[in-house]
Structure 1
Amino acid sequence: MVGLKLFRTDASKCGVSEVMPRLVEVEADVQGLVEAHMETLLGVRFLASEYGTGTVHKGRIDSLGLDENGSPVIVEYKRGIDAGVINQGLFYLAWLMDHRAEFEHLVRDRLGMRAASQVLWSSPRLICIAGDFTRYDVHAVHEHRRSIDLVRYRLFGSDLLGLESVASGSGGMQVARRVRRQAVARATADVQDASMVELASAVDEALLGLGGGVNRVERKTYRAYQRLRNFACLCPPQRSKLLVYLKVDPKDVDLVPGFTRDVSGLGHHGTGDLEVQLRTPRDVERAQDLFLASYAAA
């Protein structure tokens, strides 16, 4: 975002004019903008603003939400650079983990009983949105055991908002390797067909290898691959195929029977309107461009 230049074209004059980036006047401006459109911008359902943490902690959480996989989300905002934003967010995240019943009550009031019963406490998230971050912030994200996203914002002109994912971490390399071993073990236990196990592993590697900042979230009925938002959901192997759901508009794809399908409006596990059916390693190669398009849009 710092290096991004945005220009407005003027066809009548055959020229361009640069739209200069700027920060908000006060922190509450970016908070209000994100809270009003949180699901569109972050893939997070908004729950509460300025949520009080009681007389002991004596704090107020900027925003509380629930992401697409049911993970609790704390969002903290800073107008510019603030070295304490991650520590402040982690302080509130620790409070949240100690007050699960209170959070679930809030979810029940805002989103209903079903959502409250499916809160995923294994992967709570902290999203920090600020004008910029230091290299120490980025390093801390990759070293910490919690799921943390650093997001840089800029306003352009009077009606454009830019969000850039600066860093994303899900607990460091040791946790990632342990999760991977557990996932492979579950797949081996659940599926007798070795070819499907190998295919699931190939899909896993392809999705994790698309770029930096990919987190994997395990749910009972699917495995989500996530940047700020889910970009792919892998369902448990069937007898002869794997189903992957992507955040790609089916209208933008030349659908191939037996390989891709429009599932918008149809019920299925995970998120995404494009279903990709994978039966062989060749199918995984064919799907690579679709995987990349979904990753880029997340």
Structure 2
Amino acid sequence: MSGLKLFRTDMTNCRVIEVQPRLAEVEADVQRFVETHMEALLGVRFLASEYVIDCVDGGRIDSLGIDENGAPVIVEYKRGTDAGVINQGLYYMAWLTSHRRVFDSLVRDRLGAQAAAHILWSAPRLICIAGDFSRYDAHAIREYRRSIDLVRYRYFGNDLIGLETVASVTGQRNLGRRARRGTGVLPAARKQTGAMAELALAADEVLCGLGDGVTRVQRKTYTAYQRLRNFACLPPPQQAKVLVYLKADPKTVDLSPGFTRDVTGLGHHGRGDLEVQLRSERDLDRALDLFRASYTAA
């Protein structure tokens, strides 16, 4: 069970009152809420609910979506604790990856031909949202060669809901503090030489080392760094600088010309409204607090 405690302040009587957590009355309440706010909660664009799959054993995928990097996403829900949610999701994932044209058609109908042309089939994801998970669930997903996120939910009072990532793995491996240069990652930077290529690799190492559960998603024009949602995007290094785009509100940052820039509404590779410009290791050190803030908010 989550150790999170939430308190409401009573300034009149100078005390705090604990808000007791609770589960949903029925599983459908969680599903309906997440589907309505899926992009804000998970960074996933909603495509379909209770999607019927065409196979011998049949079944219904709770929610289908596509994340901000173009990866197909299956979301499965359970009101309480149920180990079957992972196996059920993997069953649907196997169906999805063998019926790509069906998903392509769904994306084309809902989001248009351009979105359908950029689906990232190398990194499909399964997100399991439940009242709780056991330590065995967190261990089990490490044995599968799939990208899986286990997310615990809790309602607090009548108007608050909390989502907590219990465990997160990629289809290859998790990236943490042991990620180092020379491991065959960040191919765009490794094809180049020079100071900016080295700086890009250093930025990659810092972003991967911000905490547990960081995953790297490689697209043609950028590398995304993700918890449940993207928190940073790193395009290939330029001749004189390395750019990092963060999921942060530029209005909350004291912008510094030549270092940080508001790119809201401006076209660029990757996702994020705050551009950070790195020209030296000193700039990378200077950007660390911004990286951490974006990671924490993801």
Taking structure 2 as the reference length, the TM-score comes to 0.95
* CA distance in 2 between partners of 1:7 and 1:74 (Å): 33
SS in 2 for 1:120: coil
SS of equivalent residue, structure 1 residue 163: strand
Counterpart mapping for 1:29-68 below 5 A = 29-68=29-68
Q: How many residues align?
A: 296
CA separation of 1:175 and 1:213: change in aligned 2, threshold 3 A: closer
2:13 aligns with 13
1:287 is aligned to 287
Counterpart of 1:261 in structure 2 is: 261
Structure 2 unmatched runs, 5+:
none
Q: Deviations over 1:172-230 (max 9, x none)?
A: 549998997443454232x24x2122111111110000001111000011000001100
Q: 1:128 to 1:180 in 2, by over 3 A?
A: farther
C-alpha RMSD of matched pairs (Å): 1.9
The aligned counterpart of 2:74 is 74
**SS of equivalent to 2:207:** helix
Structure 1, gaps ≥5 residues long: none
Query: Does residue 129 of the first structure (1) align with residue 122 of the second (2)?
Result: no
Query: For residues 57 and 178 of structure 1, what CA distance do their matches in structure 2 show?
Result: 44
Question: What one-letter code is carried by the residue in structure 2 that aligns with 1:104?
Answer: D
Whether the 8 Å contact between 2:181 and 2:201 is mirrored in structure 1 is: no
Instruction: Give the letter aligned to residue 4 of structure 1.
Output: L
Q: For the residues of structure 2 that align with 1:260 and 1:174, how far apart are their CA atoms? A: 29
Counterpart of 1:297? 297
Q: What letter matches 2:185 in structure 1?
A: A
The residue aligned with 1:226 is 226
Residue identity matched to 2:222: Y
Partner of 2:26: 26
Aligned to 2:91: 91
TM-score (norm 1): 0.95
Deviation at 1:15, TM superposition (A): 2.0
Which residue matches 1:144?
144
Deviates more, 1:217-226 or 1:176-185: 176-185
What residue in structure 1 maps to residue 247 of structure 2? 247
Paired with 2:181 and 2:66, the residues of 1 have a C-alpha distance of: 22
Aligned to 1:169: 169
Q: Distance in 1 between matches of 2:181 and 2:45?
A: 26
Q: More helix per residue: 1 or 2?
A: 1
User: Structure 1 residues 276, 112: CA separation in 2 closer, same or farther (over 3 Å shift)?
Assistant: same
**Percent of paired sites with the same residue:** 69
Shift of residue 139, structure 1, vs aligned partner:
0.8
Q: Which AA in structure 1 matches 2:144?
A: H
The amino acid that maps onto 2:56 is V
Q: What per-residue deviation string (whole Å, max 9, x for no partner) do you get for residues 104-138 of structure 1?
A: 10001111111011000000000000000011110
Residue type matched to 2:35 in 1? E
Is the CA contact (8 Å cut-off) linking 1:144 and 1:172 kept in structure 2? no
Give the CA deviation at 1:157: 0.4
CA separation in 2, counterparts of 1:27 and 1:174? 30
How far apart, in 2, do the equivalents of 1:46 and 1:151 lie?
17
The one-letter amino acid of 2:152's match is R
**What secondary structure does 1:129 align onto?**
strand
2:64–2:73: 8 Å Cα contact kept in structure 1?
A: yes
Q: 1:174 to 1:268 in 2, by over 3 A?
A: closer
